[in-house]
Amino acid sequence: MLDGLVALALAAGTEILAIYGSAIEASDKADGSPVTAADVRAEAVIAEGLARLAPDIPVVAEEATAAGRVPATHGKFFLVDPLDGTREFLSRNGEFTVNIALVEAGRPVLGVVYAPALGEIFIGAEGEGARAGTLDDRGDIAWTDITVREPDAAGLDVLASRSHLTAETKDFIDRFKVRDLVSAGSSLKFCRLAAGDADLYPRLGRTMEWDTAAGDAVLRAAGGRTLTLDGAALLYGKRNQASDSDFANPWFVAAGLFDPLRVGAAATV
């Protein structure tokens, strides 16, 4: 399964890069977020591949959902964001990703995050750990095991959304002793935590499940955690929510080897 998902992510990345090097036109979806031909083409490649790889597992994909095509999601299903960080794609800063995750019983148990412009790929599986890979010119991947790190007494390295940094997120970050605050796009923030390159990623703002599931799977497989503000693990497959739309996430905090919500944590790290 994991090898198959990696192959699909790479194929979707090829479609994206074919458009990345040319003039890019974007339109706005109903929620105001941008969509490009790269989103559509990458999602088509992934959907077709998943239908071959695991025909009995439903697929919830961002663009299909926006068009009203949403399957039942009892038990096990895929979550797909074919181009996470469309704003980063449009600004051509390279920080956009292909996200494919498998969810079981509300948990992201398998995830692939591929950054085609950077030649970086991250994978994680529940109970099996996480790895980071770099692609060479031939498309071969050199893999390295990754794990989260202990925070440094000098302060935390904190990641924040490049395009969606809210006032509430800033206030949360101010609770901590921060050594470095780095803005980054897409699900790469989860992967930087998983690889031990940072300590904390708070997101006190709106996200959707396809934005987070693959990166969250990699982070959890690397020993990290993603918590809602009440201290519970972030869950997936949220439908019929009274306060928001299907698959919308609450605010969350992702971290490595410390509890970012523990009373006094800000004073001790």
Computed over its alpha carbons, how large is the radius of gyration of the chain?
A: 17
Q: Does 168 appear as a known binding residue?
A: no
**Annotation-wise, does 10 bind a ligand?**
no
Angle between helices 2-20 and 37-53 (to 10 degrees): 160
Buried b vs exposed e over 32-50: b needs ≥16 C-beta within 10 Å? eebbbbbbebbbbbbbebb
Specify the DSSP element, H or E, that contains 131: strand 129-135
Alpha carbons 28 and 31: distance in angstroms, whole number = 8
Q: Per the annotation, does 83 bind a ligand?
A: yes
* Separation of alpha carbons 165 and 170, rounded Å: 7
Q: Is 211 annotated as a binding residue?
A: yes
Strand order from edge to edge, sheet including 76-84: 59-61, 76-84, 97-104, 107-115, 120-125, 129-135, 141-146
CB 178 within 8 A of CB 158: yes
Q: Is 81 annotated as a binding residue?
A: yes
Which residue matches tokens 């498309």? 139
Let me know: does 179 contact 155? Beta carbons within 8 Å. yes
| Residue 145 assigned as binding residue | no
Pick out the residues of the known binding site for substrate.
62, 83-86, 211
Pick out the residues of the known binding site for Mg(2+).
62, 81, 83-84, 211
Pick out the residues of the known binding site.
62, 81, 83-86, 211
